[in-house]
Amino acid sequence: MSAMGVGAIAIPKSFLLGREIDPLRAAYEAMDVAQKKQLADAALNAARAKGATYADVRIGRYLNQFVSTRENKVQGVANTESFGAGVRVLANGCWGFAASDNVTKENIAKVAERAVAVAKANAKIQGEPVQLAPQRGFGEVSWKAPIEKNAFEVPVKEKVDMLLAANAIAMGAGANFVNSAIFAVNEQKYFASTDGSYIDQDIHRIYPTFNVTKIDQANGKFDTRRSLSTPMGMGYEYLSPSADEKVTGVVTRYKKRYDMLEDMKAAALDVAQKIKAKSVEPGKYDLILDPSHLWLTIHESVGHPTELDRVLGYEANYAGTSFLTLDKWQTKNFNFGSKLVNIVADKTQPGSLGAVGWDDEGVKCKQWDLIKDGKLVNYQAIRDQVHIIGEKESHGCCYSQSWADVQFQRMANVSLQPGKEKRSVQDLIKGVSKGIYIIGDGSFSIDQQRYNFQFGGQTFYEIKNGEIVGMLRDVAYQANTQEFWNSLVDIADKDDYRLGGAFNDGKGQPPQSNAVSHGSATSRFNGVNVINTARKI
């Protein structure tokens, strides 16, 4: 059981301390591609020999690094490494999967045989046989995330120094506590299938974050302000500030370069203001939502209900189904939102968490429309589902969190397109007579069919007659997805477009996590129900 407190940042309990260089970097070098191909062929041949009509194998080395601090102390630095192979097969029309950390030619063949045995055993309780969309083989290809600086090659001391310098800024500005951390991920994935693809990919993700806590000693109230950074599909270059990548306003926000020291100073000032802010009066408000907040609302209310596996009922027992049922899509006229709502799914956007060359079943990645001019036009679907929506090719959004887990449909980056007309955030605020401007994501919850949601935030600014008049606290808004997206009346232009994202979006049984980004520009939603969350115990 884990005890996650208000100031804590989620990292494994036992990860501690750091180093200046990685003396064992050689051990992380990717395995030779020719060797991986031999291993993959051993698995594919064994699967075929046992009667599989299709097979794919993923050989992966997964590296993580966690560096975490609090106040003036380094709490942890740890490198984790996991290596193994998973084989998925179709036999007797049914899927089978097996995985092992013993990656030799002999054993990987046995793993493939075990996967076939599982498929055959389950075929008796299989309904319709799996219909796999055809996929051409790509031969031997590779893809590398376009990073400028590999986070695993940056000395840990550099990371520690930056985090402690940031913490000192918060403490110097009156914070009572501060936690900060950098998480880095490198997935070295090799995929091969009986379609004739041998795909070698090198994927990088990074997430710098902090949480500043302020306590009002007089009344015992405490409050926090989290960083306005976001996890990115980037290297360490994300942590090199650039004036071009900043968005100024009530607080500075960031595009593809993050300035942790600057944001830390702002956070310490914000939280001091927030703890003394006026408690919100519940009622209807026009909301101006910053991309650092709106990404999560998009994720929950658009990303998840447009996943076809949910629509079909594959997640009925856990993550839930979807209100965006096939009959609504079939009308080609289902009013999801206002005409300004244009939402795309994308597995290629540079710097995003979801960007890869090919997905985990060998499909080349692309971008496609989900909501066009407010109407539902498509879903997110993979090879064994696309026939249901009359398509011949998968959308390319199949993913597994590791070699040990079976791949399945996971969310692509799902993003709201910015406004086409020149509109600044200030233009949006100007038109609001009674509103709240929300920055940063906070508490979030949505029902299992994605109708009713409630979101908090990091900071809340009261708008009166087109002007920001001060900060509010205890704010959360509740809405119905369709009503909410129909209340979208204004969007800032592309200059304000930014990504937000989640490192660990959970789905499936056993649960798997997926990293995904969501882009948007600041948007205005009219007449949303705001509640006050203050209680006494």
Centre a 10 Å sphere on the Cβ of residue 11 and count the other Cβ atoms it contains.
17
Identify residues 158-217 at the interface with other proteins (CB under 8 A): 160, 176-177, 213, 215, 217
Which structure tokens are listed for 498?
Answer: 């930014």
106 binds other proteins (CB under 8 A): no
143 binds other proteins (CB under 8 A): no
Identify residues 291-310 at the interface with other proteins (CB under 8 A): none
| Between 225 and 423, CB nearer to other proteins | 225
4 binds other proteins (CB under 8 A): yes
- Least Å from the CB of residue 430 to other proteins: 31
| Between 275 and 428, CB nearer to other proteins | 275
Tell me, residue by residue from 438 to 467, as one string, x for binding to other proteins by CB under 8 A and - for no binding.
Answer: -----xxxxxxxxxx-x-x-----------
* Interface residue with other proteins, options 9, 40, 151, 156 (CB under 8 A): 156
Distance in angstroms (rounded) separating the CA atoms of residues 68 and 71? 10
* Interface residue with other proteins, options 190, 408, 484, 503 (CB under 8 A): 408
Identify residues 311-370 at the interface with other proteins (CB under 8 A): 312-318, 320-321, 323, 325
β-strands 283-289, 434-446: how paired?
Answer: parallel
- Least Å from the CB of residue 388 to other proteins: 11
243 binds other proteins (CB under 8 A): no
Q: What is the DSSP string of 206-260?
A: EEEEEEEEEEETTTTEEEEEE-S---BS--GGGGS--GGGEE-SSS-EESSS--H
433 binds other proteins (CB under 8 A): no
CB under 8 Å to 465, separation ≥6 — which residues? Answer: 433
* Interface residue with other proteins, options 252, 416, 461, 476 (CB under 8 A): 476
Helix axes 260-275, 156-172, angle to 10 degrees: 30
Q: What is the DSSP string of 301-369?
A: IIITTTBHHHHHTTTTTTT---SS-HHHHHTT--B-S-TT--EEEES--TT-TT--SB-TTSPBP-EEE
Looking at this protein, which amino acid is placed at residue 143?
W
| Between 255 and 304, CB nearer to other proteins | 304
| Between 124 and 392, CB nearer to other proteins | 124
Closest listed residue to residue 428, CA positions, set 294, 521, 530: 521
Question: Considering CB under 8 A, how many residues would be counted as binding other proteins?
Answer: 104
- Sole window of 201-209, 339-347, 496-504, 505-513 interacting with other proteins (rule: CB under 8 A): 505-513
- Sole window of 79-87, 283-291, 385-393, 412-420 interacting with other proteins (rule: CB under 8 A): 79-87
For 266-280, letters b (16+ CB in 10 Å) and e give bbbbbbbbbbebeeb
Per-residue CA distances from 263 to 158, 215, 233, 458, 527 (Å):
18, 20, 20, 13, 31
- Sole window of 134-142, 338-346, 353-361, 525-533 interacting with other proteins (rule: CB under 8 A): 525-533
